[in-house]
Amino acid sequence: MKRPISINEEKNYNPIEEMHTEADKRVGQVFRTMLVFTSLMVIAPISSYFASKKYIFEKYFSIDSDESYIYSVAVTVIVIHLILGAFIYIAWQDANTSANEKKKK
């Protein structure tokens, strides 16, 4: 049988521990975001370069190997800009969310 909690009983509430827990979660989220975008910045441009050169420009469009380099680099630059734009957007949203949470407290 459960014992009823009286109003006068204090819970073991420690605001410092709560702050550390929230800060740890926040650091974990930031680290995860940076890890994802760092991986994207390494893998996506390299793979988009070789995939677009070999499969899109040389096989599908039958462009000469020397010319396909130029077009593949253009695709790579576009991919890099998309990744950077996505990172800036997520960082902006994250900063706004954090600011709104601080205002509520």
pLDDT tens digits, residue range 1-36? 555 555 555 566 666 666 667 777 788 888 999 999
Has this prediction a pTM greater than 0.85?
Answer: no
* The pLDDT of residue 105 is above 60: yes
Question: What is the C-alpha to C-alpha distance for residues 63 and 60, in angstroms, rounded to an integer?
Answer: 8
- In this prediction, what percent of the chain has a pLDDT beyond 90? 58
Give the least confident one: 2-6, 25-29, 74-78, 80-84: 2-6
User: Which ranges in 1-105 belong to alpha helices (H)?
Assistant: 15-51, 65-104
More reliable by pLDDT, 10 or 58: 58
